[in-house]
Structures are given as structure tokens and as C-alpha cells.
């Protein structure tokens, strides 16, 4: 959805990540409302949430900044090594769920939870891009939709709750935790083992 740049913040001598929205998306949203919504998400303070540092607009281009995490995404880890051990999967899911629960208690929803947005730093999960998709939806004039007025889909269809997908959206809200479960199922061998266990049980009974 965004172009990503690694930059140096000279004032504080640190590396930061700048995410720039594509022009077709920037033209479909209100820059001021986008910044207001991002400000709400930036107030989140939790050890498993990557904070938003700033957001703005320059020459018609919308952007936001985050700290640089020296690690990798859950997507990269899964692509490199395949399924994770059950204990590690449970730990990461607990950390992600804790981050979601805290954010929901503060009135902030993620709207684009997926393995790419779960960063791994020193063995712990850090959820990135919190509230960005929701901010874009609100800035486009309708916070209940997953599509902007320009037809740009907000979020990732493969990880959207069924009622949020453009072709099947209804007025019912499905919690982000639904997508948390979907993300978790891609990194754990538990489901496959459960199916094998059930089959083995049927064989023993016969």
C-alpha cells in the first residue's frame, strides 16, 4: 500500500522509517483528517506496538514515520524457516493479542493485521501500522468502508474479515482479533497436528 524508506533523523541521530502513500490514495483522502486520525493512533503506548512518530503532507504526498526496528517481519521469518514451534507461536500470538486488546480499550483498531505488520525484535512481536488503514478510511469520508472513493482497497483482502472485503461488506463489525487468528494459523503446525490426531483417533476406534 505504501512506499517505504529508511531515513536518518539528524536532530536525534537515529534511524526512522518513512512510509509514503501512493498518489492515487493521497488524492482520495483529506490530509488534515488523515493527520488527526494518525494523531489518535500515535497516543498508543504499549511494548508490543510500534509507535507512530509523525504524519504530514508535502506537495500533495501523504506520509507517516515510525521508529526503525532492527529485526524482520513474521512474513519473512515464515518464508525463510516455515512453520514455527508451538511454544513460539503461542508466545507471539499472546503478545499480538495483548497489543490488540490494549489498542481496542483505547478506541483504536488496526484494520490491516497480517504477518507483514508483525515485526520480530529480540524474540518479541511488535505490531506496526496501527490505525493507519482506519485513518485512511476516515480521511476518505467513510470509516466503515475498506475502499476509498477512488476505488483503492484499504487493507489486505486475504486477511480481511469477510464482511470487510469490498464485494461482501455488510454493516456488521468483526473484531480485529478475527484476523489475529487468521494470521496465527499461518505460522503454527497446531491445526495440522490436530487433524492428524483426529484421523488417528478414528483409525484406533475402528
Check residue 57 and give its pLDDT: 85
Q: How far apart are CA 16 and CA 23, in angstroms?
A: 22
Check residue 159 and give its pLDDT: 72
| 185 within 8 A of 179, measured Cβ to Cβ | no
Q: How far apart are CA 95 and CA 118, in angstroms?
A: 10
Does residue 112 carry a catalytic annotation? Answer: yes
- pLDDT tens across 68-114, in order? 999 999 999 999 999 999 999 999 999 999 999 999 999 888 888 89
Percent residues over pLDDT 70 in the chain: 63
Q: What's 117's DSSP letter?
A: G
Residue 47 CB-density burial (10 A; 0-12 exposed, 13-18 middle, 19+ buried) = exposed
Name 118's bridge partners: 127
Check residue 166 and give its pLDDT: 59
Q: How far apart are CA 108 and CA 174, in angstroms?
A: 14
Check residue 147 and give its pLDDT: 41
Check residue 187 and give its pLDDT: 63
* Inter-CA distances, 103 with 97, 128, 201, Å: 10, 12, 41
Torsions phi, psi of 6, nearest 5?
-95, 125
Q: How far apart are CA 93 and CA 121, in angstroms?
A: 14
Which residues of the chain fall short of a pLDDT of 50?
A: 143, 145-153, 168-175, 177-178, 190, 192-206
Of 112, 116, 129, 142, catalytic:
112
Check residue 206 and give its pLDDT: 42
Cell reading at 13: 541521530
Torsions phi, psi of 28, nearest 5?
-95, 0
* Inter-CA distances, 149 with 25, 47, 108, 154, Å: 9, 35, 23, 11
Q: Is 35 left (phi over 0), alpha (psi -120 to 50) or beta?
A: alpha
Reported as half-sphere exposure (CB side, CA atoms, 13 A), residue 180 has a value of 20
In order of start, what are the domains of the chain with their CATH numbers? 3-205 (3.30.200.20)
Amino acid at each position: 500500500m505504501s512506499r517505504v524508506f529508511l531515513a536518518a533523523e539528524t536532530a536525534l541521530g537515529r534511524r526512522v522509517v518513512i512510509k509514503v502513500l501512493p498518489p492515487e490514495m493521497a488524492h482520495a483522502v483529506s490530509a488534515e483528517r488523515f493527520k488527526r486520525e494518525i494523531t489518535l493512533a500515535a497516543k498508543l503506548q504499549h511494548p508490543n506496538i510500534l509507535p507512530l512518530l509523525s504524519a504530514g503532507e508535502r506537495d500533495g504526498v501523504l506520509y507517516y514515520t515510525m521508529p526503525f526496528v532492527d529485526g524482520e517481519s513474521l512474513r519473512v521469518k515464515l518464508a525463510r524457516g516455515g512453520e514455527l514451534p508451538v511454544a513460539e507461536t503461542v508466545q507471539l500470538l499472546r503478545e499480538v493479542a495483548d497489543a490488540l486488546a490494549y489498542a481496542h480499550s483505547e478506541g483504536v483498531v488496526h484494520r490491516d493485521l497480517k504477518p507483514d505488520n508483525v515485526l520480530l525484535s529480540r524474540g518479541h512481536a511488535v505490531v506496526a501500522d496501527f490505525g493507519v488503514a482506519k485513518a485512511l478510511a476516515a480521511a476518505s469520508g467513510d470509516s466503515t468502508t475498506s475502499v476509498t472513493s477512488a476505488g483503492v482497497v484499504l487493507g489486505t483482502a486475504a486477511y480481511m474479515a469477510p464482511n470487510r472485503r469490498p464485494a461482501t461488506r455488510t454493516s456488521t463489525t468483526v473484531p480485529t482479533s478475527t484476523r489475529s487468528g487468521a494470521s496465527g494459523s499461518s505460522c503454527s503446525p497446531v491445526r495440522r497436528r490436530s487433524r492428524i490426531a483426529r484421523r488417528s483417533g478414528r483409525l484406533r476406534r475402528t
